[in-house]
Amino acid sequence: MDFNTKALKDSFPALKKSLYFNTGSEGLFPRNTYKVLHRHLNRVFKYGGSHPDYFKFINLYNEKLKLIIEEMGVNYNDTIKVASISEGLNFSFNMFPFKKNDKILLLKNEFKTVVLAAICCVKKYECEIIWADSIEHAQKIITEQKIHAFAVSHVSYIDGKVNDIKGLYSLCKEKDVFFIVDGAQSIGNITWNLKSVVNCSDMYVWTTHKWFLSPRGLAFIIPSQNALQKCSPVCLNYFATKTFETPDNISFTGNISDMSNHANNFNGEIGFVQTYKFIKKKIGFDNALKQNNSNKEYFLKMAKENNIEIKNTDSFLLAFKSSKYTNEQIVDKFYRHGIIIRTIPNTEFVRVSIHIYINRSMINSFFKIWKKIHKIN
Q: At 226, is the pLDDT very low, low, confident or very high (cuts 50, 70, 90)?
A: confident
DSSP 13-29: GGGGT-EE---SS--PP
Residue 113, amino acid: T
What pLDDT score was predicted for residue 2?
63
DSSP 55-88: HHHHHHHHHHHHHHHHHTTS-GGGSEEESSHHHH
Q: How many whole angstroms separate alpha carbon 203 and alpha carbon 116? A: 17
- Least reliable range by pLDDT among 3-7, 18-22, 30-34, 152-156: 3-7
For the chain, the structural domain boundaries read 5-21+284-373, 39-278
Question: Region 35-43: what's the mean pLDDT?
Answer: 89
Question: Region 56-71: what's the mean pLDDT?
Answer: 89
Q: At 220, is the pLDDT very low, low, confident or very high (cuts 50, 70, 90)?
A: very high
Percentage with pLDDT > 70 across the chain: 89
Question: Region 323-334: what's the mean pLDDT?
Answer: 94
Q: What's CA 23's distance to the chain center, in Å? A: 10
pLDDT at 179 over 70: yes
Q: How many whole angstroms separate alpha carbon 235 and alpha carbon 121? A: 12
60: CB partners within 8 A, 6+ apart: none
What pLDDT score was predicted for residue 232?
54
Task: Summarize pLDDT for 118-149 with one digit per residue, the tens.
Answer: 999 899 899 999 999 999 999 999 999 999 99
Q: At 206, is the pLDDT very low, low, confident or very high (cuts 50, 70, 90)?
A: very high
User: Looking at domain 5-21+284-373, which CATH architecture does it have?
Assistant: Alpha-Beta Complex (3.90)
Question: Region 222-250: what's the mean pLDDT?
Answer: 56
Rounded to the nearest 5 degrees, what angle is found at the Cα of 197, between the Cα atoms of 193 and 202?
Answer: 150
Question: Region 48-58: what's the mean pLDDT?
Answer: 80
Length of the chain: 377
Task: Summarize pLDDT for 288-298 with one digit per residue, the tens.
Answer: 999 999 999 99
pLDDT at 17 over 80: yes
Mean predicted lDDT score pLDDT of the chain:
87
Q: At 45, is the pLDDT very low, low, confident or very high (cuts 50, 70, 90)?
A: confident
pLDDT at 330 over 70: yes
User: Looking at domain 39-278, which CATH architecture does it have?
Assistant: 3-Layer(aba) Sandwich (3.40)
Report pTM. 0.90
What pLDDT score was predicted for residue 16?
92
Question: Region 269-282: what's the mean pLDDT?
Answer: 93
pLDDT at 264 over 70: no
Q: At 9, is the pLDDT very low, low, confident or very high (cuts 50, 70, 90)?
A: very high
67 vs 60, 62, 70, 274, 345, CA distance in Å?
11, 9, 5, 13, 37
Residue 258, amino acid: D
pLDDT at 89 over 80: yes
Higher pLDDT among residues 230 and 117, named by residue: 117
What pLDDT score was predicted for residue 242?
38
Question: Region 196-201: what's the mean pLDDT?
Answer: 92
pLDDT at 182 over 70: yes
